[in-house]
Each structure stands twice: as C-alpha cells, then as structure tokens.
Amino acid sequence: MTEQLTIARIGHRGDGIADTNTGPVYVPYALPGETVTVEPVKGHPDRRHLIRVDTPSHEREAPICKHFGICGGCAMQHWSLAEYHLWKRGLVAEALAHANLIAPVDTLIDAHGQGRRRAVFHARRGGKDVLEVGFTAPRAHHVIAIDNCPVLSKGLDGAIEAAWAVAEILKPTDKPLDIHVTATDSGIDMDVRGSGPLTSQRTGVLARLVEKHKLARLTRHGELVAQGSQPTLKVGKAHVPLPAGAFLQATAEGEAVLAKLVLQHVGKAKRVADLFAGIGTFALRLAENANVSAADSEASAIKALERAAGATAGLKRVEVQTRDLFRRPLMANELKVFDAVVFDPPRQGAEAQVRELAKSKVPVVVAVSCDATTFARDARVLVDGGYKVVSVTPVDQFRYSYHVELVAKFEK
C-alpha cells in the first residue's frame, strides 16, 4: 500500500524525514520540501521505500553515478553540494549542542580532491551461482555488482577489474571476500580477506595477477602473495613503506587539509605527542619542527613510521611505541612533558585517553575525529577538565556520505 508524504528535513544518516501522526518516518533519497510517494519497508514501521518524487525540490540534482540508489556506497548524490555542505557542518554543530558545548564551528572544508584513494570491494555468490563484486546494497548484505565508481581517485583505475579477477580465481573456495585496495605512490596495493587457506597452485595463479593488472602488491590477510614494487606514500618529507591494508585518510586532499590544520594548531610547540598515530600522517610532518612521541596499537603501522623517520633527513627526534591507548592511555604524569598533544582515534573516540588529558596540564590539545558524536562526548570531558574549545573545523573527505571529519583545538 502506498502513501504520500511531505519531507521536512534530512536526518543524520542522510534520509529525508517526514513528520507524521505516529512519529518521524525516514525516506532515503528524498529532500526537504519534496512531496513523495512511498511504500512500507517490511519489519521497519518508521521507514519507507521511495517510489517516486511527486514534487521535486529545486535543490535536487542528477546523480553522477548509474549505481546510485542501488549501491549503498553513497547516500547524497541527489542533493546540491551547497546544501549538502551546510547539512554536514550542521551535523557537527548539533553534536556539540547535544553535549551542551558552546563552540565556534567553521565553514566546512571540501576535501574530496581527486577522490577516494582506498576502498573495500565485496565479492559474493549471488542467485544462480552468479559472482557479484562491488559494494553492499543500502542497509542490506547482498552485493551490487559495479564496473566503475566515479568517487574513486585516478590512482585506483583498474582496481575494480583486478578485484573481479581475484574473485573469479577464488570463486571455487565458496568464501565471501573483502578486497581492500589502496592507491599508493607505487601503484595499487591489494589485500584479500576471507578466502581461507589456499593451495599453492591457486596462490600461484593469484600471484600472476600482480603483473597482469600492474598491482604494486597483492597480499592475503596481510601475507605476501606477490609484489611488483614496495607500496609507499610520501608524508611530508618522508616516504613511508606501507604495511598491507594500512589505514590512510580517505583522500589525499583530506590528509593535506587535516595535516595543515593540525600543524597550525600545534604552532611552535617543541615537544608533541601524537596519539593513535598510525603510519605517521601527522607525526612525520610535526617532526620537521618538533620532537615527537608517537603511539598506536597497530605494530606494523608504528614500525613503518619508525622506518620512515629513520630514513628521512631533517627531522627532529621521533620516538615510537606500540601501545593500546584504549586499555593503556598515556597517564597525566606521562603527559606533563609535552607542549601539545594530537589525538586521532577510530570512530569510537578516545574516552579513556581523554580522561587522562583532562587531568593533565598540557597547554594545547588538538583532536582529529571522524565521528561528531564521539568527538562531542570526548570534548565534554576535556571542557569539564578545564579546557576551552578554541575552534572546530569540519572537513569533508567522504563526499556523498553522512560521514564528516573534523579538527578541533583546545587550550588550558
């Protein structure tokens, strides 16, 4: 049974929201002011499928991808960038308000640049034993097969074809695959996960794909299958040898924008701690002007950072340690030697570490976050500990999604 709704606003995950007598109803791909015809979603009384837009918004735009609305990779291609940017900035402002924080929120910086430099393709057997390689459907587990993706950078040209080739070779294993691809300065780095143990013959067939598809490296669960060249990434003055499946900021432009803001906020600090440092996105740049102590739980990333720092002339001292900052945060007495602390945690935030920072007397704290809600929670702890929020800058390197990055400066 269909019904007609009027969309009032956009929710936190990019869905249009209609206010009804029974409460808010969520309609993906609908925009504020639009009248739409919808049908129920089985098992979800507050959700609807969009059938058609009866009265379109003047803010509606044609999607750039033929897979939009079927593939779950993007949520917002149908909205004008200007309105979309205002909405993303609003997500940060709302999260701060919800935490009872008053803070200046800058205009959002668009850091899409040349596009995403990393992606995860899923390979699954579909109906009638047909192989599907692509991204999952919206709020579903089945895979939508794709042959191109316009939000990916030029550095990932050929990655989809290579992923299909890997999936075909591993199809007899009858395992669901996740194929991680990263654009590096040396070419595409690919890590295949989910295949289970492989025969030497099948591993050999996989290895031949490196030359055929001009991959820099192919690994399986981080174990080397074949390598054409060492995948590296230039970070500041350093060239970092990347571990398999290494975490990078989503776009090269995003990394540059975040790093610029971090360096600006740290200023002339002489000794800096970089927590959740990864491969050294900030640490290696900070070390051009300050002594840096870097920590992260991922041993391979810390090792790559250490190797890069040791091989780069002109850097000040870089100390590294592998440390689980969720279970073993740097304590307040360990933090007292630093002029500034930078932390860039995963999506769940850094609550344990922030509680120690709040007890400390570090004069400047710089937070980088990919989740406005957990950032606001952590910011509340810092403010309650005597810090002041000096600035918050939203950064969009996940264009067409509801994810927003931010950099914030705190002073005590």
- Per-residue pLDDT tens digits for 274-292: 999 999 999 999 999 999 9
Handedness of CA 360, 362, 364, 369 (dihedral sign): negative
For residues 58 and 364, give the distance between their C-alpha atoms in angstroms, rounded to a whole number: 44
Instruction: Say yes or no: do domains 3-60 and 85-112+250-411 share a fold.
Output: no
Residue 127: strand, helix, or coil:
helix
Residue type, 358: A
The answer to whether 123 and 176 have CB atoms below 8 angstroms apart is yes
Tell me the pLDDT tens digit for each residue of 387-408: 999 999 999 999 999 999 999 9
What is the predicted pLDDT for the residue at 88?
A: 97
Work out the mean pLDDT of the chain and round it to a whole number: 96
Please tell me what DSSP assigns to residue 97: H
Does the pLDDT of residue 126 top 90, yes or no?
Answer: no
Tell me the pLDDT tens digit for each residue of 18-59: 999 999 999 999 999 999 999 999 999 999 999 999 999 999
- Tell me the sheet residues that pair with 186: none
CATH classification (class only), 3-60: mainly beta
User: Which H or E run contains 164?
Assistant: helix 159-170
User: Which H or E run contains 134?
Assistant: strand 131-136
Residue 373: phi and psi, rounded to 5, are -70, -50
**Which stretch of 55-69, 189-203, 227-241 has the lowest confidence by average pLDDT?**
189-203
Domain boundaries, the chain: 3-60, 85-112+250-411, 118-232
What global pTM score does this model have?
Answer: 0.95
What is the predicted pLDDT for the residue at 139?
A: 81
What is the predicted pLDDT for the residue at 304?
A: 98
Identify the band that residue 127 occupies on the pLDDT scale cut at 50, 70 and 90: low
Tell me the pLDDT tens digit for each residue of 86-105: 999 999 999 999 999 999 99
When pLDDT is averaged across residues 143-163 and rounded to a whole number, the result is 96
DSSP string, 71-103: BSS-S-TTB-HHHHHHHHHHHHHHHHHHTT---
Take residue 45 and report the two structure tokens written for it: 């009384």
User: Which CATH number, 2.40.50.1070, 3.10.180.10, 3.40.50.300, 3.40.630.10, labels domain 118-232?
Assistant: 2.40.50.1070
- Tell me the sheet residues that pair with 273: 293, 341
Tell me the helix, strand and coil percentages in the chain, rounded to 5.
25, 35, 40
* CATH H superfamily, domain 85-112+250-411: Vaccinia Virus protein VP39 (3.40.50.150)
What is the predicted pLDDT for the residue at 128?
A: 66
Identify the band that residue 219 occupies on the pLDDT scale cut at 50, 70 and 90: very high
Annotated catalytic sites, by residue? 370
Does the pLDDT of residue 130 top 90, yes or no?
Answer: no
Identify the band that residue 195 occupies on the pLDDT scale cut at 50, 70 and 90: confident
